[in-house]
Amino acid sequence: MITFEKLSRYILSPVTAQNNMQTCWFFERARGQYKTLRSREGRTKSFDKKYPKNQMFTKVDLAKFINANQEVWDGKKLVIGPHIVVRGNEKNYAQFIANNLPDNIKKINSVYFEDAIAKCILFKNADKRYGKKPDNIGEMKQVVVPYTLSLINIITKNKIDLYKIWKNQQVSPQLSEFIYGLMKQVNKFILETYSGQHYIEKAKREECWDLVKKHSWSYNINEIKADLIDERNPPKRNADIDIAEEELTQSREIVKSIPPALWNEIGKWGKDSGYFDITKQAIVSNIAYKLQQNKILADEGYQKGVEILDIVARRNEELLRESEKYAGKWIPMKKVKVTDDDKNIAILEQIRKMLSFNNTRNILSSEEVDFLSDIINNKCERDDSKIFSCMENLKKRGFTP
């Protein structure tokens, strides 16, 4: 899901007849990410245009959109179907993680992302059409929407052109009407089949889905012929996107969008509040100085700068909103000088972080742990090459210096 999250930050929607501005579909992998990023970027109006609130979705939303799209079988056992979606967010998400994620992380690429958004657009369209007055269908939206979308994929043999939906950022009127007509039939069928019974509970069972699949439905497939993949001329897709380069480009933009004078204030706040150790204070000072002097900042400096802005966004959101106040403001700054004492303190703080990270994961050998502990307790001389080696081992398992 981390890869999918990164893709959602860098893949821009196509320009359409309805919207001449490219936007992002924001995947919130962890609660609060949307709010944090909105605060971090400071200029909320431009953020809201790039990341519209109605295009933010969570991991349980993603599981619902994808699981409602088509069946997944494990041998003779049906593990993904619309009846799973009806069971609720937690159970559906658990099934999604266990049975409906690509077996190879490389398959979570730009094509997978675009198709996921197309499924999102499909689901949202059906959800809206079911409940929009005065033509609302009934009171079983949570059942009928996923059931109908899965049914359409069976009817069309999974030939819905998802790329067309992605390119247009909407469902065609013809496909929307086709879905609406089928939803009315599905709604009526379930009501009549389970007359007087608890429809929602019945719809959570595979038996209900089997009955829906076996029923004869009234439709004209030619009505949505333009919405199906043309086997003679399938859409050409590009799955390649350099996430690392896209991430670095965005980090540059974010760091440069904060005025040097505000970076200086951020450094003061971080020091006074105790949220920034010596290393972070030095990073902030370096960013502020180099931005003011129009000097080149190392790639790592941009990445570290974004991490620092995340801390500020969580701890002092108001400070980032003062970007305009500090724009163009000149303050005297000197090139950052880090003393040997500062370096020693920073290294010891880094070693403590390494030991803390390793404490519950047991990545380092006992010899490596003893070596790092002895440095902290001043029982041996510091060997920077050994410290670096330990750090590299931890970074492979997710440690962030």
State the DSSP string of 171-225: --HHHHHHHHHHHHHHHHHHHHHTTTS-HHHHHTSHHHHHHHHHS-----GGGGG
Q: Does residue 41 fall inside a structural domain? A: no
Give CA angle at 321 (317, 326), nearest 5°: 130
Let me know if residue 237 belongs to a domain: no
The H or E element containing residue 354 is: helix 340-359
Q: Are residues 298 and 177 in the same domain?
A: no
Token code pair at residue 20:
């001449």
User: Does any domain span residue 191?
Assistant: yes
Length reported for the chain: 401
The residue assigned the tokens 């079988």 is 73
Examine the domain organization and report whether 257 and 279 are in the same domain: yes
On whether the pTM is more than 0.85, the answer is: no
Q: Are residues 319 and 345 in the same domain?
A: no
Q: What are phi and psi for residue 29, nearest 5 degrees?
A: -70, -35
- The answer as to whether 214 is a domain residue is yes
Domain endpoint, select from 270, 302, 326: 326
Best-predicted range by mean pLDDT among 245-249, 267-271, 339-343, 383-387? 267-271
Give the model's confidence band at 258: pLDDT under 50 very low, under 70 low, under 90 confident, else very high. confident
374 with 247, same domain? no
- Asked whether residue 317 falls in the same domain as residue 172, the answer is no
**Average pLDDT value for residue range 273-298:** 89
> Which pLDDT band, with edges at 50, 70 and 90, does 342 fall under?
low
54 is a domain residue: no
Give percent of the chain with pLDDT exceeding 70. 96
Tokens found for residue 127: 């959800």
Based on the fold, state whether residues 282 and 382 are members of the same structural domain. no
Task: Give yes or no for a cis peptide into 134 (omega within 30° of 0).
Answer: yes
Say yes or no: 84 and 180 in one domain: yes
Residue that is written with structure tokens 């080696």 in the block: 389
The model's pLDDT over 90-127, given as tens digits with 9 standing for 90+, comes to 999 999 999 999 887 778 899 999 999 999 999 999 99
Check whether residue 299 and residue 389 sit in a common domain.
no
Select from 277, 302, 326 the last residue of a domain. 326
- Total tally of structural domains belonging to the chain: 3
172 lies in a domain? yes
* Domain stop point among 278, 294, 326: 326
d(CA 164, CA 118): 8
Whether 67 and 180 map to the same domain: the answer is yes
In a domain, 51, yes or no: no
Whether 1 maps to a domain, the answer reads no
Same domain membership, residue 178 and residue 124: yes
Within this chain, do residues 187 and 159 fall inside the same structural domain, yes or no? yes
Answer yes or no: is pLDDT of 305 > 60.
Answer: yes
Q: Helix (H, G, I), strand (E, B), or coil: what is residue 73? A: strand
Q: Give the domain extent around 265.
A: 243-326
* Same structural domain, 69 and 201: yes
pLDDT of 321: 78
